[in-house]
Amino acid sequence: MWRLSRRTLWQAVPTVIGILLLNFLLLRLIPGDAVDVLAGESGGASAETLLQWRSHFGLDLSLMDQLQRYLGQLAHLDLGLSPRFNLPVSQLVLDRLPNTLLLMLGALGLALAIGIAAGTAMATWVGRWPDRLLSLAVLLLYSTPGFWIGLMAVLLFSVKLGWLPSNGFQTLGLDLQGPAWLLDRLQHAVLPVLALATFYIALYARLTRAAMLEVQRQDYVRTAHAKGLGPWRVVSRHVLRNALLPVSTLAGLHFAALLGGAAVTETLFGWPGLGRLTLEAVMSRDYNLLLGILLLSSMLVVLINIAVDLFQAWLDPRIQAD
């Protein structure tokens, strides 16, 4: 396992470096910069003022000089300064990161738990009424946009029933501590997590069902039944364990998709996370902030995929020998 993790980490290094260079070059080729946006918002600025702003933020340097300066800052763990907020990029990103991780990990965990449970039930009672009923529910979730489900959930649970808050990430005006603070955060996270997870619940349910039906036809499963093992033990130890390999692979890939989908969900529910911060950075041409978000996001995706590789090696020890 240690050899596998070390090899995966070495493979991730050139990936992160390539993403870093590609993001920097592509963003710098886009016309306009943060100074143009700031000048437009302030009602205009003189040519001397624009030159001073660009010199302050290092935008007057050539492309290679900017790249050299940026790499030098990264070597000192410095992501630079945000022209839009006039604050260090690392501070802005780290302030929003816990909120986004709560949203993404909660949505991914909920989708995996419900999707795998539903897929297992569908494969166990394939062709019967539980399979048909769950297949219909999964089809509805798969074909319904998440933001629409979020809006309907707000109308039901916030407007009609008043059970859950509809906006923000904490109750304003209250100085909560300890368990009360945690409960308040979780209550605010329920609706955005549900809206973000619905599509993936349907996806994992269908994939688990298909993978389990495929595994059930294998010789070792028939051998387990012939030995007299109980149905639940065969499903849990032989069928489901091997069926989780494609599910875990797809979950690692979907972590990056959740980063993109979180922007819509965070805007809908007023959730202060990296998604909303990315939209603000794009609208204001804040390339330093965008580079910091993209770098952190790419590193998170790489780490999640390393964790998926280790999890699959635990599920199937043959992977460690490859």
Residue partners of 263: CB distance under 8 A and separation at least 6: 275, 276, 278, 279
In the chain, what are the domains? 2-89 (no CATH), 94-321 (1.10.3720.10)
Dig out the tokens for 296 from the structure.
């952190």
- pTM, two decimals, is 0.77
User: pLDDT digit of tens for each residue in the chain (322 aa)?
Assistant: 566 666 666 777 787 788 888 888 887 777 777 776 777 666 666 677 777 777 777 777 777 888 888 888 888 887 888 877 888 888 888 888 888 888 888 888 888 899 888 888 888 888 888 888 988 988 888 888 777 888 888 888 888 888 888 777 777 766 777 787 778 788 888 888 888 888 888 888 888 888 888 877 777 677 776 776 666 777 766 677 777 778 877 887 777 777 766 777 887 788 888 878 888 888 878 888 888 888 887 777 777 777 777 777 776 666 555 5
Please tell me whether residue 303 adopts helix, strand or coil conformation: helix
Q: Which residue is listed with tokens 């939209």? A: 279
Q: How far apart are CA 94 and CA 91, in angstroms?
A: 5
Q: Which of 272, 264, 274 is nearest to 145 (CA)?
A: 264
- Beta-bridge mates of residue 81: 88
Q: Which of 92, 297, 296, 263 is nearest to 192 (CA)?
A: 263
